[in-house]
Amino acid sequence: MSNSPGSVPANLNGDGIRVGVVQARFNEEITNGLWGACCSELLRLGVLNEDILHITVPGAMEIPIALQRLAYSGEFDALIALGAVIKGDTYHFEIVCGESARGISSVALAHDVPVVNMVLTTYTEDQAIERIEDKGVDAARCAVEMGNLMMTLDDNLPGADDEEEEDE
């Protein structure tokens, strides 16, 4: 895909990007795999180890509140949510998936920071395991790209960072 005049190309250079990662411990084998793939890709893209904060929470429902606290700090260019919710025999799956996704999205919009939602929602454990590597890598790439995009927009759009200046 070529860039048209005036377009902003994807920038996957992680140099200087600060990333906060919140990982659910529920379905830990899967979420540890997501974290491993994500962390490796962040480092491969040039994000420094000291620019990555990794925290864990009990499950997918706790991810949004931890993301919110990280977003409040203003210390991160992008945030990543890692989790795995696997369908069981009850309606609980739908509640957890929906509420977790809603909370994650609300953090991004309320705090004007990119939040990558990589909480896997699958019917089986095998489906989740199949997705670990690709989705962990995707999370890192998306976070770096969006962190760079937001900085580019802040630097190039009139009034893009006025809100931040008013807070100071």
Tell me how far apart the alpha carbons of residues 78 and 60 are, in angstroms, rounded to a whole number. Answer: 19
Any long-range contacts for 148-153 (C-beta under 8 Å, 24+ apart)?
148/11, 148/12, 148/13, 148/17, 148/77, 149/8, 149/10, 149/11, 149/114, 150/77, 150/78, 150/112, 150/113, 150/114, 151/77, 152/8, 152/11, 153/8
**25, 69, 92, 102: the active-site residue:** 92
111 in active site: no
Return the active site residues: 92
